[in-house]
A and B are shown apart, each in its own frame.
Chain A
Amino acid sequence: MDEALKFHFVIDGDNFTSAGEASVEVKKKLRQLGFPPDVIRRVSIAMYEGEINMVIHARGGVADVLVYPDRIVIILEDHGPGIEDIDLAMQEGYSTAPDSVRALGFGAGMGLPNMKRYTEEMHIESTLGVGTTITMVVNVQ
């Protein structure tokens, strides 16, 4: 029962246009696997926000999705600048994104809060100058 289906993605940090393609792929796979729409949506949104963050802030990274019957685990790892103050970054409306990113419709300081909103668990490990790893869990009810 505890054997996970694993999916691995490389997130291209140089291409804002393609950001989100991994989340779309995960959404399709979860749909094929027959997960409830609500679970699929929460996983897709949380991962999509994470993907966008990795492209905006960290020149890309890797994403691993582990699918268990009762939960879905999303691990996003980048080697970007790291998050200086995680508590502050978690506040709605706080953003370090430049105006050029806001012109693209992101950087409103809602990315991390959205990831927390749609997941049951979220852990951030970040070291300045080294990178960030975010682990999120969505339970299947």
Chain B
Amino acid sequence: MKIREIVPLLEAEILCCEDELDVEVYNACGSDMMSDVLAFVKDQTALLTGLVNPQVIRTAMMVDMRCIVFVRGKHPTPEMIALAEENRIVLLSTGLRMYEACGRLYVSHLAKEG
């Protein structure tokens, strides 16, 4: 699925790296615990999280993620946006809760992580 397709599915706002929306993601992972993300995630995964701090971006960098969706209407700080821009990671924000955001992607056939 292209990141572009995630935007309407999650009624998401694009926060940065709009020119990267045609990047493909093959699976998604929903977690607020970054070590769980580091334990299980493969590349070209989208991360859904309710956690807002710079380590979210750095975790994504470590596993070469290209898209992070902040759930429950959370917004990253300008510092996080700058770090994501520098590393070409698309940041999205959705008002949906984690459960529904993950559910919408799952029923739209974005495979589960792993």
A19 to B83, CA, bound (A): 13
Which residues of B lie under 8 Å from residue A20 when comparing CB positions?
Answer: 55, 58, 62
- A45's contact among B33, B36, B62, by CB below 8 Å, is which? B62
Inter-chain contact B38/A114, CB cutoff 8 Å: yes
Which residues of A lie under 8 Å from residue B54 when comparing CB positions?
Answer: 17
A123 touches B (CB below 8 Å): no
The size class of the interface chain B forms with chain A is: 20 to 34
Given contacts A27-B62, A106-B34, A110-B33, are A117 and B55 in contact (CB under 8 A)?
Answer: no
- B35's contact among A17, A27, A44, A106, by CB below 8 Å, is which? A106
Given contacts A17-B53, A114-B38, A114-B39, are A105 and B33 in contact (CB under 8 A)?
Answer: yes
Binding site for B on A (CB under 8 A): 16-17, 19-20, 23-24, 27, 37, 41, 44-45, 48-49, 52, 102, 104-106, 108-111, 113-114, 117
Binding site for A on B (CB under 8 A): 32-36, 38-39, 43, 49, 51, 53-56, 58-59, 61-64, 79
